[in-house]
Structure 1
């Protein structure tokens, strides 16, 4: 055995497996390898070797693998739903509707549409009519996808499918809290017959993810916290590697005087508490105009008190556990900070003692202000702070008073009013009379501004993140000389000045 092989073997032995637990029961459900930096480098080499052959396939040939994987997903959906729910602690209905279902739709869409979305574009130039340009979209090569634990199936699958259809090899680094879901993703594509090395799953902790970012890949797609996203961006910047960052949110919900009342109440409760509030697009700040505030808050509190919290065994649970102990600590600290500064919990406000896992009571807070952490920092938990405002103008100002800008919602019976308010909200996406769901609509772009991220995922705009442009230019009719070539002269100088007058002063350009 070579010295290099011995060193690699010792490195592997020194890194114990990752233990995956069910956060609702705290029981171990499986283990996954904790890959070393050396193993990550080996995976990159395998991906690089596989990338060229994969890129040479047609869109139709790539689509066949995606379609096969989608069929396997449909056949194994109950098993996958159970795995997601066990690793994250969420109800199985949410695993099905917010993870498996949108992925099946996304796979069908990009398998069918990628060829058209990435079709070459050809055009003549506005002045140089003898010149023709063509834009082609080429695969990047090898891309890394680092995914979070809150939606461990739907988030990485979006990046993987788009990357594969664009012709790239992919290295997936799932969260250390949900490695088994990541491995299941790899199994789906392996069973579909995907060529070896085109998709590899790199389970591990933060060191594994850092090794992937430091490796010689072509682009990194990261979803996670702002703090971790900054570290990824800094590491990528040192080698001028492009990144797409989908980071946190502190999403605002504006409830106007004329909001459709029952729908808005239901939307507020679902938007704040689905996935136990662990969505970057969860409603984390709600601004309601004072004219309807009392009635609205009472209705929301009553709905929240009816939510069923616990371990999902018979499809009778609305809210599961938080995904890990650290998240429970963050939620508890933020609520305690708010209560200490004068906030009032109309319901909830503390961890649930009667359940073994990381459960927290669905909480509605009022009398909150911007001095409180719960109004400034991402909470990622089952907490809904409600602020009463004088009118929509105040609501807009408060909604924009944030370092985040991922998603917001406006609730009104008037689409005209809703669109006018949406235009003034500083967020990547603003939804009128609905919340969160557009992440599951793969035709729509998902992106943030401010500290909520860089780049786009989903839609044609997200697909374009997985390609690089190739521009080719040529003459329609070959000429022996161009007017701007050597030799220069005063005569040619005057001629070009006259040409500029014809084009821009006398508007000849519009005629031709």
Structure 2
């Protein structure tokens, strides 16, 4: 894949470079685009243009799929899955480890493509191949641990033998978002493949190329091409087609859409896992290391321009450290560099689209109009690119303001002072979301106690989000309206399997024998139950 690097962007408050013409810098080779889009199941002859958010310039034309194409994708996947389910775990793990190596070797190309499509800073794009490689290695190394038949205790010791098998669901439908186009397209599907399933993927329409490149790497690593099918089109049209045909659905996106997906799955009585919205809190306790907390808050709030499911949007700070923390947090935020570039060295990139920019502007403008104070940022930066918005800190946000309870999903965080920790936890638990939380404190034991009271699926101590998300053995997902089910760890692979119990019985049968009456049989079984309790058996 041919790439051409750009130049670094100016500081947040610095001047634009009039000599820099980003439109001339960002271009994908036509042959590269054609090779990637050839992987799509599409017979409509229709395409949709996608533009890079870095400059607004056209990036590619993506062939669009129809309902018939989705049906064909599932038919191909089902044929491939029948053969794949009979392969050994050793074979699957070997391919998964080759994928791990390929991703690390090709990370330069992967990062370029992610930045082109999403507009994020390169250092935030790096999180994506890193996470996929970690996921591939984890499930390759732990496949037997999660998937081997497991013997459980039988009802009659020595005479009843029961094993629990993990049987693949069949074909998993994965509907992935635009904000992390490479990792979200792949990381949920890898355990599905490891468990013996096939995948039909419907990536977000704005970021198809990163997902298609991931599919190409899967085939290069050794997975059968038919095993991972990709379809394209508007989510409102193609998403329901996937839900109507899959044996299980994995969806990452908004809460509103997630509810519709869940309803479709309920109608068909199939399972689903949903990672949805959040209004994530970060607590800075009175004994926190202020400098460390300020650094963490910058990453928590502004990684990927705040377009991160576990990003912090509400920051609660103890009275005792509030002024010192705000001074350091504002200073670090104002020192951030923004830029439209493929190179390392910038702290934050662009928002993804005009719609996302409009949401951010609406939330900030509404808060300011009602009396909130802007401590840093608060401006659209069209001099850098069409959708750039400065990292923004608000103070004095009140319940009547839109950004108080609604997810912004942009580089905007609100500051709140608290007097006691019970109050901070109660305020952190306000609302219907519960995805991720963070606590900064030197007393880790006390922080862990508070973490258990916070209604979030993950809570990080002295870290923004990486401690839990990067630990791929730990389950990740939301409580309340932030979702259901978990990715990663044992839960992340078991969701793609059916638990099948197989029991064999020797000598004794579960019915009267040797001329016993039903009443005598009942008395004998009752006596046996009492005896086993005394013997502390099953």
Task: Please tell me the TM-score bracket, short chain as reference.
Answer: over 0.9
| SS, match of residue 327 in structure 2 | helix
Aligned match of 1:510: 536
Query: What's the offset of the Cα at 1:445?
Result: 0.9
Instruction: For 2:52 and 2:527, locate their aligned partners in 1 and report how far apart those are by CA, in whole Å.
Output: 76
Find the residue that maps to 2:44 and give its secondary structure. Answer: helix
8 Å CA contact 2:433, 2:482 repeated in 1: yes
CA distance in 1, matches of 2:510, 2:105: 64
Q: 1:72 aligns with which of 74, 85, 102?
A: 102
Output the CA distance in 2 between the equivalents of 1:347 and 1:230. Answer: 35
Asked whether the 8 Å contact 1:102–1:441 carries over to 2, the reply is: no
Is 1:99 the counterpart of 2:119? The answer is no
Pick the aligned partner of 2:223 from 194, 198, 212.
194
Distance 2:83 2:516 in 1: 47
CA distance in 2, matches of 1:439, 1:370: 30
1:323 and 2:355 correspond:
no
Deviation of 1:130 (Å): 2.4
Alpha-carbon distance between aligned partners in 2 of 1:255 and 1:298, rounded to the nearest angstrom: 14
| Distance in 2, Cα, partners of 1:485 & 1:440 | 61
Name the residue aligned to 2:330. 301
Deviates further, 104-113 or 302-311: 104-113
The 1:11/1:180 distance shift into structure 2, 3 A limit, reads closer
The answer to whether the 8 A contact 1:341-1:372 is kept is yes
Displacement, 1:69? 2.5
1:334 aligns with 2:363: yes
User: Do the aligned residues in 2 keep the contact of 1:31 with 1:180 (CA within 8 Å)?
Assistant: no
Give yes or no for contact 1:320–1:359 (8 Å, CA) kept in 2. Answer: yes
Q: How many Å separate the matches in 2 of 1:163 and 1:54?
A: 11
Q: Deviations over 1:189-241 (max 9, x none)?
A: 222332231011112222122211122x2101000000111111111111112
TM-score, scaled to structure 2: 0.88
User: Do structure 1's residue 241 and structure 2's residue 273 form an aligned pair?
Assistant: no
Q: Which residue of 1 aligns with 2:19?
A: none
3-state SS of paired residue (1:318) = coil
In structure 2, which of residues 187, 192, 208 is the aligned counterpart of residue 158 of structure 1? 187
Q: Counterparts of 1:401-416 in structure 2 under 5 Å?
A: 401-416=430-445
1:118 and 2:150 matched: no
Q: Which residue of 2 aligns with 1:470?
A: 500
User: How far did 1:481 drift?
Assistant: 5.8
Question: SS state of the match for residue 345, structure 2?
Answer: coil
Q: CA deviation at 1:108?
A: 1.6
Q: CA deviation at 1:495?
A: 5.0
The 2-side partners of 1:349 and 1:391 are apart by: 30
| Alpha-carbon separation, structure 1, partners of 2:211 and 2:204 | 8
Q: Tell me how large the CA RMSD over aligned residues is.
A: 2.1
Is 1:51 matched up with 2:77?
A: no
Structure 2 contact 273–483 (Cα < 8 Å) conserved: yes
Deviations 1:290-334 (A, max 9, x none): 111111111111110001112124423111000111111111111
Taking a change above 3 Å as real, the CA distance of residues 410 and 127 of structure 1, as seen in their structure-2 partners, is farther
- Relative to 1, partners in 2 of residues 1:493 and 1:137: Cα closer, same or farther, differing over 3 Å? closer
**Of 365, 380, 389, which aligns to 1:360?**
389
The farther-off stretch of 285-294 and 65-74 is 65-74
Give runs of aligned pairs for residues 382-401 of structure 1, distance below 5 A: 382-401=411-430
Alpha-carbon shift at residue 10 of structure 1 (Å): 12
* 1:424 matched to 2:456: no
Quick check: 1:20–1:180 contact (8 Å CA) kept in 2?
Answer: no
CA distance in 1 between partners of 2:332 and 2:517 (Å): 79
Q: How do 1:252-267 residues align onto structure 2 when only pairs under 5 Å count? A: 252-267=281-296
Structure 2 CA distance for aligned equivalents of residues 155 and 33 of structure 1: 21
Scaled by the length of structure 1, the TM-score of the pair is 0.92
Distance 1:321 1:300 in 2: 21
State the alpha-carbon separation in 2 of the partners of residues 483 and 357 from structure 1.
Answer: 80
1:12 corresponding residue in structure 2 = 44
Could you tell me how far apart the structure 1 residues matched to 2:155 and 2:464 are?
Answer: 43
Q: Which runs of 4+ in 1 moved over 6 A?
A: 484-487
1:326 counterpart SS class: helix
Which residue of structure 1 aligns with residue 254 of structure 2? Answer: 225
Q: Distance in 2 between matches of 1:383 and 1:413?
A: 27
Cα distance in 2 for residues equivalent to 1:485 and 1:35: 66
CA distance in 2, matches of 1:209, 1:86: 25
- Secondary structure of residue in 2 paired with 1:122: strand
Identify the residue that residue 26 of structure 1 maps to in structure 2: 56
- 2:469 maps to 439
- Structure 2 vs 1, CA of residues 126 and 297 (structure 1 numbering), >3 Å: closer, same or farther? farther
2:120 to 90, 102, 111: 90
Asked if 1:375 corresponds to 2:404, the answer is yes
State the shift of 1:64 in Å: 2.4
Question: Residues 313 and 180 of structure 1: is their aligned pair in 2 closer, same or farther, counting only changes over 3 Å?
Answer: closer
**SS in structure 2 opposite 1:510?**
coil
* 1:5 equivalent in structure 2: none
Select between 433-442 and 298-307 the one with higher mean Cα deviation: 433-442
Q: 1:488 to 1:365 in 2, by over 3 A?
A: farther
Deviation at 1:123, TM superposition (A): 2.3
